[in-house]
Structure 1
Amino acid sequence: MCLIAFDWHPDRERPLVLVANRDEFHARPTRALHWWSGPTGPLAGRDEQAGGTWLAVRRDGRFAALTNVRDPAAPSGERSRGELVVEALVGDGDIETFVFDVHARRHDYGPFNLLVGSPERLWQVGSHSAPDRVTPGLHALSNQALDTPWPKSIRAVRRLEAALDGAPLDDAPLDDASLPIGTLLRLLDDRDPAADDELPETGVGLDLERLLSAPFIVGDRYGTRSSSALVLGRTARMAERVFDADGTRIGERAFS
């Protein structure tokens, strides 16, 4: 996952609205959104190469999401970052304890950001950031620390804010016209790169900075593979839209 925008309000009946794009090499085998096996298996897509995932939710509303951190000089780590999302949803351990444990062994993984939450609490931790409780409000997480003002992050938050403007603050049914899941899935279909004078300098060169600056990336070898939306309320709603290398939609699944 390379871009997440979310609205977090644990005091409301609908505490979380989250949209995300997963950017990955097109050749990496992936299974679409599905319920994993077992009585406590999460709802998630699956990285068929390493066995982990990038965004997952349990039936009780506990969820986790992952992005990579762009640091070309950092080691790749011995373990897959996608394992962390799966670990976050195994058992009923305290979220705070879990994120501090992840931080202690962060060097086992390539650079990452991790969100772990439930309808009542939300924490973030990363290879480059200490564990911290996420404050209520609108946030974006891309390939740097939470709320780093990259152009794609700013645009994602503005789009989410516009979609939420006028929508009910309390829980909404699956077919609620004020916040349909299709609207959320379209929020990050923004394919325009940022202007050169707005680009971050992350050590990957100007051409790649341009390509990666769009919220939705279209590239021959690497690009946005899927867009996801997750809404937590009295029920959890999650949907995924899948794309090919040309950026053409090739599938969609929705669950509640």
Structure 2
Amino acid sequence: MCLILFAYRTSAAYPLMVAANRDEFHARPTAPAGFWDEHPDVFAGRDLQAGGTWMGINRNGRFAAVTNYRDPQRTVPGPRTRGELTTSFLAGKQTAEAYLREVAHRARDYAGFNLLLGEAGTLWYYSNSTHDEGPRQLRPGIYGLSNARLDTPWPKILLGKQAMQNQIHSIPSHNGLASAVSSRELASPEQLQAQGLDSEMDQLLSSQFIVNPTYGTRATTTLWQDAEGRLQWRELNFSPDGLTEQVIEQTLAPA
């Protein structure tokens, strides 16, 4: 149940601002954000079980992020890992549009996913669970993405978009952006039922920041890009009880 809030071209000075939580089983081995030996221009965390990443940037100003698509009717893992979708884009040179059109041809190789790609001042979205809709270039605005279609009005998305709205009128800060995805308050049963989410698990996972000894928020990543193309990144890594264990900050200037 990952969560990504982002403001795209709502400010001329800061064309991209992102706040995101990675939710995962605590037992799944993970490497914190850093430069990759085999792809020296890529800066991202790493899933050590499957080898890909959930979110990353590179020295050329590229940005990529992926979330799982929640579909009870499609629970079987695909033959290919979704983490390669972000990694291949960050390490490659194709435009986001061309890359996504290639991904669309092999979309059935993956379990359900949402994919965000940014480069050269554009931002694109594609999901293999949106009933044959192709890649879409996003217009300026504030968006929220979790484990359903882009901007599905889950309570955590609505809360986060309002918080991002409050952030875009000031100079971005990591603490400010992180506050948009930091609420540990559970949604009410009425709010969840309005979106067809009525199981006990839906309730447990309804907060933005999930604290649970088995599965929860492993990392919060905040980043922004300025008008010159510089990317500012911070990753907070958390213990199962929701305490900060590690802070990683990085600035990438255009190559």
Same structural fold, with TM-score higher than 0.5 when normalized by the shorter chain: yes
| Long gaps (5+) in structure 2 | none
Q: For the Cα contact (< 8 Å) 2:11–2:168, is it kept in 1?
A: no
In the alignment, does 2:234 pair up with 1:239? yes
Offset of 1:41 from its aligned partner?
Answer: 2.9
Spell out, residue by residue over 1:53-103, the C-alpha distance to the aligned partner (whole angstroms, 9 max, x if none).
Answer: 011101121110011111122132011111100011122112111111112
Offset of 1:11 from its aligned partner?
Answer: 7.9
Q: Write the distance in 2 (CA, Å) between the matches of 1:251 and 1:228.
A: 12
Offset of 1:10 from its aligned partner?
Answer: 8.2
Q: For the Cα contact (< 8 Å) 2:145–2:152, is it kept in 1?
A: yes
Hey, what does 1:135 align to over in structure 2?
Answer: 139
- Residue identity (%): 38
Hey, what does 2:107 align to over in structure 1?
Answer: 106
Q: For the Cα contact (< 8 Å) 2:220–2:235, is it kept in 1?
A: yes
Match among 182, 193, 197 for residue 186 of structure 2: 193
Offset of 1:210 from its aligned partner?
Answer: 0.4
Structure 1 segment 72-91 matched on structure 2, within 5 A: 72-74=72-74, 75-91=76-92
Q: For the Cα contact (< 8 Å) 2:64–2:118, is it kept in 1?
A: yes
Hey, what does 2:211 align to over in structure 1?
Answer: 218
Length-normalised TM-score, structure 1: 0.90
Hey, what does 2:121 align to over in structure 1?
Answer: 120
Q: Write the distance in 2 (CA, Å) between the matches of 1:180 and 1:146.
A: 25
Q: Which runs of 4+ in 1 moved over 6 A?
A: none
Secondary structure of the residue aligned to 1:14 is coil
Offset of 1:128 from its aligned partner?
Answer: 1.1
1:92 and 1:242, CA in 2 relative to 1: closer, same or farther beyond 3 A? same
Hey, what does 1:6 align to over in structure 2?
Answer: 6
| Long gaps (5+) in structure 1 | 168-177
Match among 142, 150, 153 for residue 154 of structure 2: 150
Q: For the Cα contact (< 8 Å) 1:15–1:119, is it kept in 2?
A: no
1:223 and 1:39, CA in 2 relative to 1: closer, same or farther beyond 3 A? closer
Hey, what does 2:52 align to over in structure 1?
Answer: 52
- Which stretch has the larger CA shift, 23-32 or 10-19? 10-19
Q: Write the distance in 1 (CA, Å) between the matches of 2:95 and 2:250.
A: 26
Amino acid at match of 1:140: G
Q: For the Cα contact (< 8 Å) 1:185–1:241, is it kept in 2?
A: no
Structure 1 segment 158-177 matched on structure 2, within 5 A: 158-165=162-169, 167=170
In the alignment, does 2:63 pair up with 1:63? yes
Structure 1 segment 199-214 matched on structure 2, within 5 A: 199=192, 200-201=195-196, 206-214=199-207
Q: Write the distance in 1 (CA, Å) between the matches of 2:90 and 2:116.
A: 12
Hey, what does 2:245 align to over in structure 1?
Answer: 250
Q: Write the distance in 2 (CA, Å) between the matches of 1:128 and 1:222.
A: 24
Amino acid at match of 1:142: S
Amino acid at match of 2:143: H
Q: For the Cα contact (< 8 Å) 1:190–1:214, is it kept in 2?
A: yes
* Cα RMSD (Å): 1.6
